[in-house]
Amino acid sequence: MSDYISNEYLDLLNVPTLWNFGFTGKGVKVAIMESAITTLPGKLNIQGWFNTETNVYTETAPNFDSLSDHGFSTASIISGYATGVAPDCKLYNVIVKTDMTNISNSLNSLKKGLKWCIANSIDIINISLEIPFADAELISLTKLAAEKNIIIVSSLGNSSSETCTSFISSGSVLSIGSVNKDKSLSSFSNYGDCIDFVSFGDAVPAYNSKGEKISFVGTSASTPLVSGLVALIKQQNKDLSFKELKYMLMDNAETLNANLNNNSISFKFPKACLIPCNHKHDLDIVEIEKNIPIQDLKIITDSTINIKDTITPIIQISPKSLDNLDVLVTSSNEKLTQINYFSNSITAIDSGYATINFSIPQRNFNKSIVFHILSQLEQQLRYSLNLYNITNLQNKNLSGQNIKVAIIDSGVNIVGNIDSVTYGPNYITYQPTTAVTDTFGQGTITASIVKAIAPNCKLYSIKNQSNAGYSYVGEDLQNKALKWCLDNKMDVVIARNLQLGLYDSKNKLFKQLNDAGILTIVSQLSGDSLKFESSDRSNFLCVGPLNSNKSNNFGYLDVTCYNESFPAYTKDGIFQLISNDTFQYIFGIIGGICTLLKQQNSSLNASSLKSLLPTLCTNMGEFKYFGYGILKAYLL
């Protein structure tokens, strides 16, 4: 593996890190479903061959009339010397025929290959072939393979078209598209709602049948890269199910965006990863499968509809409500499931309608089922909640119940998801306990994000910023705002507009708040604020947004957030994306997560939380830029 440096793609996929932990695919059995390939001494080793035409398996290389450059390149990306992601895995050549002039023979060949792989406990099946045809038996075999924890990884094809065949849309195959080195969608790559992941498919180092190094191009190249990543995970735990492994890849994937035909599309770009101790298990994953339709139900606009008793094939949605939809399935009073992140379930059809293909998990329904059509912003909200692991806590009934959250800012309006606010003092007009209008809007945005994360918390608003947005009150009234939070026994205090460091007297108040078990969140320290000593800083949590992948100034920082927008309600009740470069964005996210943490441990304060940050945060790099990193919601 000393030559891996010559393959930049392996570095970009984090592969050497896994090698350093000793994970090289050892013991993992990978089948290459291709035409004939053979061993290349010192470069590529094949363990055995199964010929679907003769039904013969051998561990001695047969004499082939012709060899496939395509197959050699595919195999070498998985396990070739200096080219392979998983150089120590065991490769098997399952020789199949894919003749478009004889679909029946091709289907039989594929089915024989899958049956052999299932019978011989293959771990991963790489199919770097576009399979435009399938029958019920072939689909059934993919599902049987998934049930036996066999991962089928198949290429999407190279015709630059929106293509979702029944094979790759079966729900039991990982379908792979291609991106360029800059992670933009490759011009040749097929795409569509069925795509699961993308990886590099442009000039990937590989070998041809003569053992010469070449640059391999296409989804046939991106597919074995993903197969190799799967092999590194499988070595860590062969008992991972198809769903567990798929969601592990998703959780460790980068989200890429593309604009195709004036539609914004998202793709998942996975990297090599260690299995986290808190990874999702089968029982935690409820997934809507593809291609089991529901009949003749037309939704002309975004709405909610009921399906009585029987679930029978196809839902159709008119084009005007097609843009960026998602589906949430509920049964009267209980949520059953939802499509994760941005839906891959919607496929356009010629009749001018869209078909949503999915199945309902096996359940007995005593009441009607309701299908809610979700907007793009609602999808983004679900994506954001998943990104910070918030959904997992909400599913465990953590919602901020009875946690008192004070927002010291420009006021909070009752709009959107903000259904109730208790108004504390107004230090601008000196009218205490008055419902004040937030005409500047920052406090309302912070409150809306907090409520999205912790919907059952109790919000309190203390106004210390004028409607102009930049006029701050003096030291005495800033101290009074903090003292009010102390006297009224708040649990979490979000103090966005306190000019830390200008007033030494507040240092005592921060300690009093911390000693009282109140978790105080403040803006990133810079300038004069840096005179706070380390011991003083333990009394509050410093937060700041990212700008160009670094903190927006070079002061002291404890935690930060991803460069992702978060939907929230504005002061006027408009639901829109809030940029990551604003403090109300990060105060809302960090404040909401801290509320869920506080619900689990009522004594949690800034100093005790800081001792947990190394385990609660995703490290982003140098401390002065990122602090402990990205704070996420976990069970304590």
The span from the CA of 252 to the CA of 272, in Å, is 8
Q: What is the CATH number of domain 397-631?
A: 3.40.50.200
| Nearest residue to 585 (alpha-carbon basis) of 614, 552, 625 | 552
The span from the CA of 414 to the CA of 444, in Å, is 8
pLDDT for position 419: 86
pLDDT grade for 439, boundaries at 50, 70 and 90: confident
How do residues 544-588 score in pLDDT, each as one tens digit? 776 544 544 556 778 888 767 788 888 888 888 876 656 778 889
pLDDT for position 506: 54
**In contact, 195 and 229? CB cutoff 8 Å:** no
**In contact, 86 and 30? CB cutoff 8 Å:** yes
Would the pLDDT of 369 be above 70?
no
Q: How far is CA 400 from the centre of its chain?
A: 24
Average pLDDT, the chain: 77
Which phi and psi (to 5°) does residue 632 adopt?
A: -125, 165
Domain ranges of the chain: 2-284, 295-374, 397-631
pLDDT for position 219: 95
**In contact, 635 and 597? CB cutoff 8 Å:** no
**1-8, long-range: CB < 8 A, 24+ apart:** 1/82, 1/87, 3/81, 3/82, 4/82, 6/82, 6/205, 7/82, 7/83, 7/205
How do residues 281-337 score in pLDDT, each as one tens digit? 665 554 433 332 333 222 322 333 333 333 322 333 333 333 333 444 333 333 333
Whole-angstrom CA distances from 499 to 189, 440, 502 are: 52, 19, 6
Q: What is the pTM of this model?
A: 0.49
Angle between helices 219-236 and 69-79 (to 10 degrees): 30
Beta-strand runs (E) in 7-97: 29-34, 46-51, 56-58, 90-95
Other C-beta atoms within 10 Å of 395: how many? 11
How do residues 496-525 score in pLDDT, each as one tens digit? 766 544 444 556 888 899 999 999 998 875
pLDDT for position 451: 95
Domain 2-284: CATH superfamily is Peptidase S8/S53 domain (3.40.50.200)
